[in-house]
Structure 1
Amino acid sequence: MAETLVGSKTLLDIRDLKMYFPLTRGIVLQRVIGYVRAVDGISFTIEQGQTLGLVGESGSGKTTIGRTIVRLYKPTEGQIIFDNQDLAQMGGEH
């Protein structure tokens, strides 16, 4: 990871982010038979003035990471800290 600029501020801090989607069986009485681990324990920090690019193969979780950060998905576990506020714990889920 790049060196931190002197006096820079952490804007986004992702800590051990996990996003699992349930696998269900049945049409009427759906029961969970397992989980797809779309994102499994990633962590990174973005300082003020930095840019981050997510790259990876198709199906590797890039879109899921983005959607979870902007709160389109509620994370299974982990912290999404933006400007010193934990977004994963805030209400108003979409």
Structure 2
Amino acid sequence: MTGSQEILLEVTDLVKHFNVPKGVVRSVDGVSFSIRRGETLGLVGESGCGKTTTGRTIIRLYDVTSGSVRWKGHELANLSQKEMIP
């Protein structure tokens, strides 16, 4: 795709769960969206609903529990920290 049709970021069924002593916290569960060149996306929701965790998981500050994060067609979810530098 070219121009405004090019998908820059595609997030599909993103899941981030945290293991805690009393069980599992399901912070992000099944988030999907795409952003094309020239578009802007805003995440809106109540405090504690997973907005920040979604962003931190996309940029790999947190490991992805499951799902897909693709930047310009390249999968990011399984890259190591070293592979993420470029």
Place the TM-score, normalised by the shorter chain, in its bin: 0.7 to 0.9
Q: Identity over aligned residues, as a percent?
A: 48
Corresponding residue for 1:29? none
Aligned residue pair count: 81
List gaps (5 residues or longer) in structure 1: 1-5, 25-32
Is 1:16 paired with 2:13? Answer: yes
CA contact (8 A) 2:4 2:36 kept: no
Residues of 1 paired with 2:7 and 2:70: CA distance?
A: 9
The one-letter amino acid paired with 2:6 is K
RMSD across aligned positions (CA):
1.8
- The runs of 4+ residues in structure 1 deviating greater than 6 Å are none
TM-score, normalization: structure 1? Answer: 0.80
How far does residue 8 in structure 1 lie from its aligned partner after superposition? 1.4
List gaps (5 residues or longer) in structure 2: none
Decide which structure has the larger Cα Rg and report it. Answer: 1
TM-score, normalization: structure 2? Answer: 0.87
Corresponding residue for 1:27? none
